[in-house]
Amino acid sequence: MKKKIVLMTMAAILAFSTAACGSSGESSSSDTTTKAEDNSGSDNSGSGSVANKDKPLVWFNRQPSNSSTGELDMTALSFNKDTYYVGFDANQGAELQGTMVKEYIEANIDTIDRNGDGVIGYVLAIGDIGHNDSIARTRGVRKALGTGVDKDGEINSEPVGTNTDGSAKAVQDGSIEVGGKTYKIRELASQEMKNSAGATWDAATAGNAIGTWSSSFGDSIDVVVSNNDGMGMSMFNAWSRDKKVPTFGYDANNDAVAAIAEGYGGTISQHADVQAYLTLRVLRNALDGVDIDTGIGTADEAGNVLSDDVYVYREEERSYYALNVAVTAENYKDFTDSTKVYEPVSNQLDESKHASKKVWLNIYNASDNFLSSTYQPLLEKYDDLMNLQVDYIGGDGQTESNITNRLGNPSQYDAFAINMVKTDNAASYTALLNQ
């Protein structure tokens, strides 16, 4: 109900303020107003008179925020009236991941403690210590397993390095009681998987780490946990598949879901199918000058609509968050194709009413498993459905300039979708749009 009121208010605001976004080409503001009213953008020439700073902008997957404190960068999130963020609910997902691991341990308690020492040992691959999604996942696992310790009112999310003796300060030993017996749970090791060139969430680094860990304390590792499937699968392929050690990731990439049949413990779907849709849909709506909720909470004329159980919108954060679902041995067969468009929003928009527009979109790291194997293929399907011509730019995962250098002429585009290397760096992009 509350959401409806917010959205109706936004609709009213938008009705008064469509001038900047409805048009490309040489339009005057009265022209744009007309276009917004009859809702029929007409050319695809890449934006003529609309200033770059007024064009629709969506941040996705990396939310503009302070990488030390996690505080949202509201300046970037409200860069102009058509600016949004699209991601997923990090806390809800993190809790699901933690619970999934804990329930797995409980259900398999008879076999899980491989060396029978009464300690369930796990290792944790951390993606990026300055990325709020990565931080949330580390906290979620520590919370569920009782290994978290408080730091400034939140669970400490720092990596511990090696902690085979349980003496690390950033974590504590947890305990779990099953069938009247109490087991200790220990985070044996954790590390940020950053390669020497600076790329985070680095799968190859995780594969090397499990090699090092397993050669020095392999038989005490009972569970492997990762902030994502890219790193999780790298560890699974390098070591845990053979050793039959359950390995848990996040993203529900195709290879990880398939690996559940071979002993991968489970993953979390962050509903990339919904996120990819929202990423382009908020741009489409802003370009059409229609209520931002169109085709989202309110069905569009083609019948596209999302239900409340797959996303939330927090207006004060200008952010859409997809909801997560645990994928385990029980339900993985429903998730075997992560690049399939979400059926309720799979209807083609009529090009005579939603004229073709040009979008500049970047992926922070062309070799990020989730973004390149799941998210981008989905975007490529939705861009057709929404009549958007998207230029996809793949970064090196290390420097913002590798990407911003390729936004030499923003005036060629009608809208922008940005996936930063570092969540603090929104200004590197908005500075270009402000010029």
**Quick one: which of 183, 213, 250, 277 contacts ligand BGC (CB under 6 A)?**
250
**Could you tell me how many residues make up the chain?**
435
Q: Which is nearer to ligand BGC, 119 or 225 (CB)?
A: 225
Examine residue 228 and tell whether it contacts ligand BGC (CB under 6 A). Answer: yes
Examine residue 230 and tell whether it contacts ligand BGC (CB under 6 A). Answer: yes
Examine residue 62 and tell whether it contacts ligand BGC (CB under 6 A). Answer: yes
Name the phi and psi angles at 350, rounded to 5. -75, 120
Task: Find the radius of gyration of the CA atoms of the chain.
Answer: 23
Q: Which is nearer to ligand BGC, 121 or 249 (CB)?
A: 249
**Quick one: which of 60, 79, 183, 201 contacts ligand BGC (CB under 6 A)?**
201
Piece of the chain touching ligand BGC by CB under 6 A; list 48-56, 141-149, 274-282, 366-374: 366-374
Asked if residues 225 and 206 have their Cβ atoms less than 8 Å apart, the reply is no
Q: Which is nearer to ligand BGC, 324 or 387 (CB)?
A: 324
Distance CA 214, CA 82 (A): 49
Q: Which of 385, 359, 416, 424 is nearest to 86 (CA)?
A: 416
Q: Which is nearer to ligand BGC, 73 or 291 (CB)?
A: 73
Residue carrying structure tokens 């048009």: 23
Q: Which is nearer to ligand BGC, 24 or 419 (CB)?
A: 419
How many residues in the shown chain lie near ligand BGC by CB under 6 A?
12
**Quick one: which of 61, 157, 304, 387 contacts ligand BGC (CB under 6 A)?**
61
Name the E strands within 89-160.
119-126, 150-151, 154-155
Piece of the chain touching ligand BGC by CB under 6 A; list 5-13, 97-105, 310-318, 365-373: 365-373
The continuous run of DSSP H or E covering 190 comes out as strand 181-192
Q: Which is nearer to ligand BGC, 220 or 267 (CB)?
A: 267
- Binders in 274-313 for ligand BGC, by CB under 6 A: none
Q: Which is nearer to ligand BGC, 87 or 174 (CB)?
A: 87
In the complex, minimum distance from the CB of residue 178 to ligand BGC, in angstroms, rounded to a whole number? 30
Distance CA 368, CA 370 (A): 6
Asked if residues 379 and 409 have their Cβ atoms less than 8 Å apart, the reply is no
Which residues, at least 6 apart from 61, have a Cβ–Cβ distance to it below 8 Å? 86, 87, 275, 364, 371, 375, 419
In the complex, minimum distance from the CB of residue 365 to ligand BGC, in angstroms, rounded to a whole number? 7
Q: Which is nearer to ligand BGC, 32 or 319 (CB)?
A: 319
Name the phi and psi angles at 177, rounded to 5. -115, 120
User: Which residue type is seen at 173?
Assistant: D
Examine residue 321 and tell whether it contacts ligand BGC (CB under 6 A). Answer: no
Which residues, at least 6 apart from 168, have a Cβ–Cβ distance to it below 8 Å? 160, 161, 187
Asked if residues 232 and 125 have their Cβ atoms less than 8 Å apart, the reply is yes
Task: Please tell me what DSSP assigns to residue 309.
Answer: T
Which class for 5: exposed (0-12), middle (13-18), buried (19 or more C-beta within 10 A)?
Answer: exposed
Q: Which is nearer to ligand BGC, 79 or 88 (CB)?
A: 88
- Helix crossing, 90-107 with 132-145: angle to 10°? 30
Piece of the chain touching ligand BGC by CB under 6 A; list 17-25, 277-285, 290-298, 364-372: 364-372
Asked if residues 359 and 390 have their Cβ atoms less than 8 Å apart, the reply is yes
Q: Which is nearer to ligand BGC, 50 or 420 (CB)?
A: 420
**Quick one: which of 73, 133, 202, 300 contacts ligand BGC (CB under 6 A)?**
133
In the complex, minimum distance from the CB of residue 341 to ligand BGC, in angstroms, rounded to a whole number? 19
Q: Which is nearer to ligand BGC, 222 or 368 (CB)?
A: 368
In the complex, minimum distance from the CB of residue 172 to ligand BGC, in angstroms, rounded to a whole number? 26
Which residues, at least 6 apart from 133, have a Cβ–Cβ distance to it below 8 Å? 87, 88, 90, 93, 127, 227
User: What is the x/- site pattern for ligand BGC, positions 85-124, by CB under 6 A?
Assistant: ----------------------------------------
In the complex, minimum distance from the CB of residue 139 to ligand BGC, in angstroms, rounded to a whole number? 15
Examine residue 368 and tell whether it contacts ligand BGC (CB under 6 A). Answer: yes
Residues 255, 234, 221, CA angle at the centre, nearest 5°? 115
Q: Which residues bind ligand BGC (CB under 6 A)?
A: 61-62, 127, 133, 201, 228, 230, 250-251, 368, 370-371
